Amino acid sequence: MGEPVVTVTGIGADGWAGLSPAAREAVLAAEVILGGPRQLELLPDEVRGERVSWPSPMLPALPGLLAEHAGRELCVLASGDPMVFGVGATLARLTGPERLRVLPHPSSISLACARLGWPVDGLEVVSVVGRPLETLHAALTPGRRILVLSADGSTPAAVAGLLVARGYGESALTVLEQLGGPAERVLTGTAADWPHGETDALNVIAIDCVAAPGTPLLTRTPGLPDDAFESDGQLTKREVRALTVSALNPAPGQLLWDVGAGAGSIAIEWLRSHPSCRAIAVEHRADRVERIERNAAALGVPALRIVPGRAPDVLSGLEPPDAIFVGGGSTTSGVLPACWDALRPGGRLVVNAVTVQGEAVVADWHARIGGDLVRIAISRAAPVGGFTGWRPMMPITQWAITKKS
């Protein structure tokens, strides 16, 4: 006999009454029931299994809890659909999908869209449960509809403040509390004059984005304006940045190393390309590390991991990447060999060289192992007396290669 299957049962604000017959049967049969205090309180007295509240933090404790109750009939309670920003996916990784039985309840996303008349496939969902509120920045676009899964009752007011600061103060906000339960309530207003303070902790926020005139349009397409980043001048400029991110070819779920990150612009643009992309920025100057942190938060990717220190010394032990960008330090001894050795098969390495010495390094690598060598020369219009002329930027020599094995 193998280990018993772990059952994950979605439960909503409607509690026991909203569970399907199969979900009720699973809860009643369980020897141990794991869940949050609010979820456990929704169960009637007829449920006899041992009730165990989640510790805080929950996720690091999951392996230990599963081991502690191994061999017993275990039921995990989760909010709504456990596979939508829920614990179900984490349990599937820990137990294997063959040992997991998921009984979903309608998600708060589906319930919110049903109340609002919004199509689920026409909006973006941002969870700030256990994630920084700044994650919302990346989703803000005029005319966009967004659902925010709140961390607690303070989230709506915090979201309103973020929208006002970004120039989206006229955006309509709808807060849906206790969706599907007897205490369901709807609160409305605009971000600029949000009249409600603390709300019920169980809430979802719907945003209909409206930008004030002149608010910068910051899309996910690579090539954000240079002034979207705080920098000390160590910044890959807009046109070169767009070409560089294109050469790196970001794909969902993949990991980038941005070596010699400067302002962090390449890593940030990589992360903005898809919510599941991951990136590590390597930067040795403390002031730039702090600047990268601010840029990542302001542009909606606070999950950017920053490794302070010099390459190649700090590269050892990092997770092998799917792509590497070297914008600074290509002439430093050992940097390119360490990057090439760490790169996964099929991964992309892109190096931008500005100096003659840097050009010599990439030309040598290109001669030995191939790839594409491109010269990028950009000129911008600028005043020349009473006229307009072309002011050239420093040319960039870009070497890009895909690792075959």
List, for residues 262-276, the tens digit of each pLDDT value.
Answer: 999 999 999 999 999
Note the CATH number of domain 6-106. Answer: 3.40.1010.10
Sheet with strand 323-326: strands edge to edge = 305-308, 278-283, 255-259, 323-326, 348-353, 396-402, 372-376
Buried-state track 339-373, b at ≥16 Cβ within 10 A, e below 16: beebbeeebbbbbbbbeeebbebbeebbeeeebeb
Question: Where residue 2 falls among pLDDT bands split at 50, 70, 90?
Answer: low
The architecture that CATH gives domain 109-208 is 2-Layer Sandwich (3.30)
Question: Where residue 341 falls among pLDDT bands split at 50, 70, 90?
Answer: very high
What is the pLDDT at residue 405?
80
DSSP structure string for 188-212:
EEESTT----S--SSEEEEEE--PP
Question: Where residue 303 falls among pLDDT bands split at 50, 70, 90?
Answer: very high
Enumerate the CATH 3.40.50.150 domain ranges in the chain, comma separated.
226-402
Average pLDDT (296-300) is 97
Q: Which fold has domain 226-402?
A: Rossmann fold (3.40.50)
Question: Where residue 56 falls among pLDDT bands split at 50, 70, 90?
Answer: confident
pLDDT, one tens digit per residue, over 14-25 is: 999 999 999 999
Average pLDDT (237-241) is 96
Helices (H), strands (E): how many in the chain? Answer: 11, 19
What is the pLDDT at residue 4?
80
Structure tokens at 242: 């767009």
First-to-final CA distance of the chain: 42
- Asked if pLDDT for residue 248 goes beyond 50, the answer is yes
- Distance, in Å, from the CA atom of 341 to the CA atom of 339, rounded to the nearest integer, reads 5
Element (H, E) at 178: none
Average pLDDT over the chain reads 95
What is the pLDDT at residue 317?
92
What is the pLDDT at residue 210?
98
What is the pLDDT at residue 285?
96
Element (H, E) at 109: helix 108-116
Number of CB atoms found within 10 A of residue 260's CB: 23
381 three-class SS: strand
Query: Are 344 and 324 within 8 A, CB to CB?
Result: no
Enumerate the CATH 3.40.1010.10 domain ranges in the chain, comma separated.
6-106
Average pLDDT (10-15) is 95
What is the pLDDT at residue 328?
81
- Distance, in Å, from the CA atom of 24 to the CA atom of 47, rounded to the nearest integer, reads 9
- Distance, in Å, from the CA atom of 224 to the CA atom of 77, rounded to the nearest integer, reads 42
- Asked if pLDDT for residue 259 goes beyond 90, the answer is yes
- Asked if pLDDT for residue 1 goes beyond 60, the answer is no
Residue 307's nearest CA partner among 330, 337, 278 is 278
Enumerate the CATH 3.30.950.10 domain ranges in the chain, comma separated.
109-208
Q: Give the whole-number percent of the chain exceeding pLDDT 90.
A: 95
pLDDT, one tens digit per residue, over 138-183 is: 999 999 999 999 999 999 999 999 999 999 999 999 999 999 999 9
- Asked if pLDDT for residue 3 goes beyond 80, the answer is no
* Residue 139 phi, psi dihedral angles, 5° rounding: -90, -10
Residue 18 DSSP class? G
Q: Give the whole-number percent of the chain exceeding pLDDT 70.
A: 100
